[in-house]
Amino acid sequence: MRKILSLTFVGLSAISTGVTADPLSIERIYASPGLEGKAPIKLKFSPDGTRVTYLQGKREDQKRFDLWEYNLKDKSNRLLVDSQALFSGKEELSDEEKARRERQRIYGRGILEYTWSNDGRALLFPLNGDLYYYQLESGKSRKLTNTAAFETDAKFSPKGNYVSFIREQNLYALELASGKEIALSEEGGGTIKYGMAEFVAQEEMSRMTGYWWANDESKIAFTRIDESPVKEAIRNEIYAEEVKLFNQRYPFTGTNNVTVELGVVTLNNQQINWVDLGKEKDIYLARAQWTQDSNVLSYQWQNRSQQKLELRLYNADKRTQHVAVTKTSDTWINLHDDLHFLNDKTHFIWASERNGFKHLYLMNLSGEIIKQLTDGHWIVEEIKAVDEQNGMIYFAGRKDTALESHLYKVPLFENGKIERLTQLGAYHNVVVSKDAKTFIDSASTVIQPSSVSLRAIDGSFITWLEENKLDKSHPLSAYLPDLIEPEYGTLQAEDGQMMHYRLFKPKSLETGKKYPVIVNVYGGPHAQRVTNSWRGKNLYFQYLAQQGYIVFQLDNRGSYNRGKRFEDPIFKHLGVVEVADQIKGVEFLRTLEYVDPKRIGIYGHSYGGYMALMTMFKAGDYFAAGVSGAPVTDWALYDTHYTERYLGHPATNADGYEKSAVFPYAKHLKGPLLIYHGMADDNVLFTHATKVFKVLQDDVKTFEMMTYPGSKHSLNGQSVQTHLHKTITDFFDRHFK
């Protein structure tokens, strides 16, 4: 079954058509200034809602970021902090900070993250390993730390009297008035870390911190992790001129995780009380958050199989606790951050996938459901704001279409309909002000980069923060006439569920001509590729289409934002339904009169690299050539939390692990194959590539390879990205043209 969708949006500045097109090149796609324009990043409201702060790259160096503001009163943009004025040398990152940034997907130089104080008078940001305190009244930055060590994960205390941070695996608080530092832990070092998130918490649970302030500033909850149970492995990073060896404690699937403890330390005397996490020690601490009562801490306990999760409430004064919510699943439980405690200290909002789709529920502290707030065969993405005074919740969701994110509101206590506040025809990333009166709307489409506007909470336009208008001065303007709007549609999977696809075609298809196709795939969990949103990668697809290729993308079962029922078919066996669904996509492509069925190739990175190998090895009659980037090849080499979530424990699903690896199928390779990998990848280790190299060589299967010395999993850098995409293009040109 096939259905074609048409997406239109009228709210953004129109695309110019009166410009003569320049030919798009790979070199230009990855050069500065970026073709997406100057839309700012990390946008935040000040607590009083009178300012919008953001990071923006320098005009001469777009990868070096400064801190800016838009003042809503005088409607002006101004530079708050010039990162180069504070530090102009080369930033030397610690290994811990390099790893943390990789986990956060933070790339660049200068100011890369910042935090507002709750009173709205100051901002806090790290730079070159030290912390800076910027006071709005004076307009000056004060250096808070000046040590050889890196201070990371810095936070304001709720009342703004302290700044907390991690230094050398210990937790500190600095009193701003006196400058006095308080060591809240002293035993950190080696395998012991205080207030820090372990590897799988950062990479797989999206928990980047290990400590949390109580609202009255009297105490901090924190984790103590002991990495000693995790087996130490030697990991190499191959650079152009040297090989670095690291003794890394990496929790390979089926092996030991860190031991995690949860404590509460009082600020006045540094006394620590430990929370009883139960007799079972092989668990995950997924989340922690104080309630509106500064004596009651919530934390989310998850068992090793990730099939059970408990929301527990701990009274720090009485040192008692109870379980408020218990969730179980026959497959796995997705984690989320949609827990909001109400000011009445009696109720909270909680998200659950109990009916197969993520929705919001109003509950009391005993765990009783008072009201289901949202419902339907669509998903809530995240809570954006809760306006208790007016009884309204604002959330991002996919109620109208799975291809676009929109802002909605729904009554908190009264009955009422869900109302959409953003316009259809674009993808909206929104930030709602604390008072829920305005929101920042970063809107984009597949062929239009983000424009950032300020809007009243009803969605009405107030002003542009960055229109990013596609006029003659815009870097993309010379290429606009040749941009291709892709065709969207749906295909039916074997179980009847609908899958979304996207098709980039050359602008003018010659009658009777057959065109080669490149299937771009990711295919794995917690990712979605077919959306009506701007991604830098789309420019490469535009380039390929302009070179005479058709680019096809299909979000197979197992991918995200479609509900748990759409995800569950991959449980206990990876690379099965995903491959079947991609074959279904090729069968559809073969019905198109302009597609050459003998020249259909596949290309993907990470899980997409895994999919490229699995399709080339298992479906060689459908895919004539493939490019596999940084692929997982052996799930036994990947980490516990991710792998066991989908495959279970190796001891109980050995057959599933063996059949989900690429090696049993390598002997069936028929067509040309290119594999590339970063040689300093600390996520999908380079070993994944070398293992498949050896298997293919043992089977006397010829293939091509490209390796990138010093590159991590994301293969960042202008020259690397340019070289990589020229290599991929050359590969398909040689075999398809």
161: left (phi over 0), alpha (psi -120 to 50) or beta: alpha
Give the closest residue to 144 by CA, choosing from 162, 120, 170. 162
- Whether 534 has a pLDDT exceeding 90, the answer reads yes
- Whether 215 has a pLDDT exceeding 80, the answer reads yes
H helices then E strands: how many in the chain? Answer: 12, 45
In angstroms, the Cα distances linking 100 to 122, 257, 545 are 25, 18, 37
What are the pLDDT digits (tens) for 653-705? 999 999 999 999 999 999 999 999 999 998 899 999 999 999 999 999 999 99
- Whether 12 has a pLDDT exceeding 50, the answer reads no
> What is d(CA 225, CA 543) in angstroms, rounded to the nearest whole number?
48
> What is d(CA 686, CA 680) in angstroms, rounded to the nearest whole number?
7
Residue labelled with tokens 């970021």: 65
Percent above pLDDT 70 for the chain = 97
Compute the mean pLDDT over every residue in the chain, rounded to the nearest whole number.
94
In the three-class reduction of DSSP (H, G, I as helix; E, B as strand; rest coil), residue 146 is classed as coil
- Whether 562 has a pLDDT exceeding 50, the answer reads yes
| Residue 10: how many other CB atoms lie within 10 Å | 9
Phi, psi (rounded to 5 degrees) for 392: -140, 140
What are the pLDDT digits (tens) for 325-336? 999 999 999 999
Q: What is the pLDDT of residue 581?
A: 98
H or E element in which residue 682 lies: none
Buried b / exposed e across 385-404, counting CB within 10 Å, b at 16+?
bbbeeeebbbbbbbbebbbb
Q: Characterize the bridge pairing of strands 673-678 and 625-629.
A: parallel
Q: What is the pLDDT of residue 17?
A: 46
Q: What is the pLDDT of residue 3?
A: 52
> What is d(CA 255, CA 659) in angstroms, rounded to the nearest whole number?
20
Q: Characterize the bridge pairing of strands 673-678 and 704-708.
A: parallel
Give the closest residue to 632 by CA, choosing from 734, 476, 544, 524. 524
Buried b / exposed e across 26-40, counting CB within 10 Å, b at 16+?
bebbbeeebbbbebb
Q: What is the pLDDT of residue 496?
A: 97
Q: Which residues contact 730 (CB under 8 A, 6 or more apart)?
A: none
First to last CA, the chain: 31
Q: Which residues contact 134 (CB under 8 A, 6 or more apart)?
A: 67, 80, 81, 122, 123, 124, 125, 140, 141, 142
| Residue 266: how many other CB atoms lie within 10 Å | 15
| Residue 143: how many other CB atoms lie within 10 Å | 12
- Whether 19 has a pLDDT exceeding 70, the answer reads no
Q: What is the pLDDT of residue 58?
A: 85
**How many residues are there in the chain?**
737
The catalytic site residues sit at 606, 681, 713
Q: Which two tokens stand for residue 647?
A: 């495959």
What are the pLDDT digits (tens) for 475-515? 999 999 999 999 999 999 999 999 999 999 999 999 999 99
Q: What is the pLDDT of residue 682?
A: 86
For range 410-425, the mean pLDDT? 96
DSSP codes, 401-442: -TTS-EEEEEESSS----EE-S-TTSEEEEEE-TTSSEEEEE
For range 534-561, the mean pLDDT? 97
- Whether 38 has a pLDDT exceeding 90, the answer reads no
DSSP codes, 468-529: ---STTSTTGGGGGG--PPEEEEEE-TTS-EEEEEEE--SSPPTT--EEEEEE----TT---
In the three-class reduction of DSSP (H, G, I as helix; E, B as strand; rest coil), residue 215 is classed as coil
Q: What is the pLDDT of residue 487?
A: 98
Q: What is the pLDDT of residue 246?
A: 85
What are the pLDDT digits (tens) for 437-456? 999 999 999 999 999 999 99
Say if residues 53 and 116 touch (Cβ distance below 8 Å).
yes
What are the pLDDT digits (tens) for 45-104? 999 999 999 999 887 777 889 999 999 888 888 999 999 999 988 887 777 777 778 777
Q: Which two tokens stand for residue 224?
A: 């103590």
Say if residues 447 and 545 touch (Cβ distance below 8 Å).
no
Give the closest residue to 645 by CA, choosing from 332, 372, 417. 332
Q: What is the pLDDT of residue 4?
A: 53
- Whether 33 has a pLDDT exceeding 90, the answer reads no
Q: Which two tokens stand for residue 661?
A: 């690896």
What are the pLDDT digits (tens) for 238-271? 999 999 998 889 999 999 999 999 999 999 999 9
Q: What is the pLDDT of residue 20?
A: 60
User: Which pTM does this prediction carry?
Assistant: 0.94
| Residue 512: how many other CB atoms lie within 10 Å | 7
Q: Which of 8-17, 179-188, 724-733 has the lowest average pLDDT? A: 8-17
Say if residues 196 and 184 touch (Cβ distance below 8 Å).
no
> What is d(CA 567, CA 526) in angstroms, rounded to the nearest whole number?
9
> What is d(CA 661, CA 658) in angstroms, rounded to the nearest whole number?
5
> What is d(CA 49, CA 47) in angstroms, rounded to the nearest whole number?
5
Q: What is the pLDDT of residue 92?
A: 78
Say if residues 166 and 152 touch (Cβ distance below 8 Å).
yes
Name all domains of the chain by residue range, CATH numbers in brackets. 38-156 (2.120.10.30), 186-318 (no CATH), 336-467 (2.120.10.30), 484-736 (3.40.50.1820)
Q: What is the pLDDT of residue 100?
A: 78
Phi, psi (rounded to 5 degrees) for 638: -100, 175
Say if residues 361 and 327 touch (Cβ distance below 8 Å).
no
> What is d(CA 107, CA 66) in angstroms, rounded to the nearest whole number?
14
